[in-house]
């Protein structure tokens, strides 16, 4: 398992998100953003919009995805 924070994934807080693959961590961040915004949090609104936008804009979204995967791969295992 590896850990990335909400901040490392483009969000505003330091919540740690854990997973065995970058995809798992990205999914956890996606869920975290949706959860806190649904709960009335304002600070995560932009990050959620950016996350949704990535899937609509495959080119820029893919660059972010590759970067995140590379960062994840460089992290030490927990």
Q: Does 13 bind Zn ion (CB under 5 A)?
A: yes
Task: Tell me the CA distances in angstroms from 60 to 19, 25, 27, one per residue in order.
Answer: 24, 19, 18
To Zn ion, the closest distance from the beta carbon of 68 in angstroms equals 15
Q: Does 37 bind Zn ion (CB under 5 A)?
A: no
Closest to Zn ion by CB, 16 or 58: 16
| Contact (CB, 8 A) for 68 and 26 | yes
Stretch that binds Zn ion, among 11-19, 49-57, 60-68, 70-78 (CB under 5 A): 11-19
Give the C-alpha separation, 44 to 13, whole Å.
8
């Amino acid at each position: 398992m590896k850990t990335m924070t909400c901040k490392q994934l483009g969000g505003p807080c330091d919540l740690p998100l854990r997973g065995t693959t970058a995809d798992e961590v990205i999914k956890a961040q996606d869920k975290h953003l949706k959860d806190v915004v649904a709960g009335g949090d304002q600070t995560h609104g932009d990050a959620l919009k950016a996350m949704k936008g990535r899937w609509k804009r495959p080119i820029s979204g893919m660059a972010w995805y590759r970067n995140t995967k590379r960062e994840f791969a460089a992290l030490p295992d927990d």
